[in-house]
Amino acid sequence: MSESTRSINVTPEEIQAGKTMAIISYLIFFIPLLMDDMRNNKFVMFHTEQAIVLLLLNIAAGIVGSLTCGIGLVLYIPWVILLIMGMMNAANGELKPLPVIGQYGEKFNLVK
């Protein structure tokens, strides 16, 4: 797996203005996408990308759990851990990709 090579320049004002919405994006990813002022906030869009990747992991865990009669539900444990890590990164004003899956967030290209 390749590591992310992009550099995102975010101002402290952008971080302060977007902290709450970045946290919300992990719970309901599409809310920031509906707000024009948040779509222009690089900090919020970075965390929205991470939240979309987490949503895809959640869907995959559900499918595997269904196919294995519930045994695959163990995949929800890393999902919850990554969800908490993402929310903590957003609350702390950090732009750190989530371990293992975070690098795939930039494929959505929401940070302009």
Which DSSP category does 28 fall into?
A: S
Residue 84's pLDDT is what? Answer: 96
Q: What angle do CA 64, 51, 79 make, to 5 degrees?
A: 40
Residue 108's pLDDT is what? Answer: 84
Sorting pLDDT into bands at 50, 70 and 90, what band is 32?
A: very high
Residue 1's pLDDT is what? Answer: 44
Instruction: Note the residue count of the chain.
Output: 112
Residue 3's pLDDT is what? Answer: 52
Residue 20's pLDDT is what? Answer: 95
Q: Tokens at residue 30, please? A: 């599409």
- Nearest 10 degrees: CA dihedral of 53, 58, 64, 69? 180
Q: List, for residues 43-91, the tens digit of each pLDDT value.
A: 999 999 999 999 998 998 888 888 988 777 788 899 999 999 999 999 9
